[in-house]
Structure 1
Amino acid sequence: MESEAAMTDSSSSTQVERDDLPGVIRQYLTAHNAGDASASAALMTPEARVTDDGKTYDGLPAIERWLNRAVSEYTYTTTYLGAAQDGPDRWTVTQRLDGNFPGNTIDLRYDFTLDGGLISRLVIAP
């Protein structure tokens, strides 16, 4: 898989197990995968920025609207594929989504940046 190969080839990335991810990332993935928009948003800084599907959402009100739309638009299941630490406060998680969206299956990278124990930036991309 390209995303896993890219993580492995990067000399600045270290592969990690899911249990070794920071708690805030594990909590976010659990809440997001369960469709809990308010619990997901609570794990972000007030000035957080999320980029998903080519669109950027700045601040908690915009992120909460995005989360609510994301959890209601499609039904899907997720499979954890892997993770890497890309820097002191940067982590990448790869998940496979299977659902009723166009294409039915996609592998997505979730690039997290943490600040003060919360998520300050999240980029989701294939």
Structure 2
Amino acid sequence: MNTLPLPEPIAAYFAAEHEPAALAQCFTAHAVMKDDGHTYTGVDAITTFLAKAWAKYRATSLPFAIEREDSVQLVRANVTGNFPGSPIVMSYRFRLERGLIASLEITT
């Protein structure tokens, strides 16, 4: 169980990482997500990508650190799954807007 205090939209994102319908509730309508060299715009594109990534990699994230960088919340998480190099530490840069995720960039 994760005890790291996260802002509500970020906590909801990690709690719902394997549930596309719940993930959709975490993002603004025009949210932008960058991951693995690609950009996804809009809730449908983001949740479709995340569902496909989960089906392929079965990755699970456990956040262990959070810090603020200007208008971005940087969360670092241990990510374990069916991919080379697992587990790895990934960085999630969240920009929040009106209680939802407006942008997310995931990097290693």
User: Does TM, scored on the shorter chain, surpass 0.5?
Assistant: yes
**Aligned counterpart, 2:72:** 90
Following TM superposition, where does structure 1 have runs of at least 4 consecutive aligned residues deviating by more than 3 angstroms? none
Structure 1 or 2, whichever has the larger Rg, is 1
Q: CA deviation at 1:79?
A: 2.8
Q: CA deviation at 1:99?
A: 2.0
**Aligned counterpart, 2:15:** 30
Contact 1:18 1:26 survives alignment (8 Å): no
Contact 1:37 1:71 survives alignment (8 Å): no
Gaps of at least 5 residues in structure 2 are: none
Identity of aligned residues (%): 34
Question: TM-score by structure 2 length?
Answer: 0.89
Question: TM-score by structure 1 length?
Answer: 0.77
Gaps of at least 5 residues in structure 1 are: 1-16
Deviation string, structure 1 residues 17-62 (Cα, Å, up to 9, x no partner): 821x211111111111xx1122112110000000011110011121
**1 or 2, which has the higher helix percentage?**
1
Q: 1:101 aligns with which of 72, 83, 104?
A: 83
Q: CA deviation at 1:117?
A: 0.9
Aligned residues: 106
